[in-house]
Amino acid sequence: MDDQTRTEIEAAAFRALRRHLMEARPDVQNIDMMNLAGFCRNCLSRWMQEAAAERGLALGKDEAREMFYGMPYAEWVSLHQTPATAETQAAFEVAFAANAGPRKDT
């Protein structure tokens, strides 16, 4: 398989993952994804931001999130996010540190 075809297949798989998370399963909470899988929708938007930076393109955090979510992040949160329990939040701190490193937003 040539590189262009592989890239196109990978991009199609990413779009299918995004569509699944945004349309088929918006009920799945980011915090639960992070706790179970070590990544969430915000991670995917951050990876998009990092990929842009690797190509010399400026893409801010809010811009990357809006690009992934298809709407401002605050709007997504108000439509889909539910409160996390103290137990879930504690598990998130462990999962975040293990998968993304020390938190910079606290």
Residue 11 CB burial class (10 angstroms; 0-12, 13-18, ≥19): exposed
Tell me the pLDDT tens digit for each residue of 33-58: 999 999 999 999 999 999 999 999 99
CA distance 58 to 74: 21
- Residue 5, pLDDT > 70, answer yes
Percent residues over pLDDT 70 in the chain: 96
Task: Annotate the chain with three-state secondary structure.
Answer: CCHHHHHHHHHHHHHHHHHHHHHHCCCCCHHHHHHHHCCCHHHHHHHHHHHHHHCCCCCCHHHHHHHHHCCCHHHHHHHHCCCCCHHHHHHHHHHHHHHHCCCCCC
What domains lie within the chain, and their CATH numbers?
Answer: 3-85 (1.10.3340.10)
Given pLDDT bands bounded at 50, 70 and 90, which one contains residue 96? Answer: confident
Mean pLDDT calculated for residue range 81-86: 94
The residue with greater pLDDT, 9 or 105, is 9
- Residue 106, pLDDT > 50, answer no
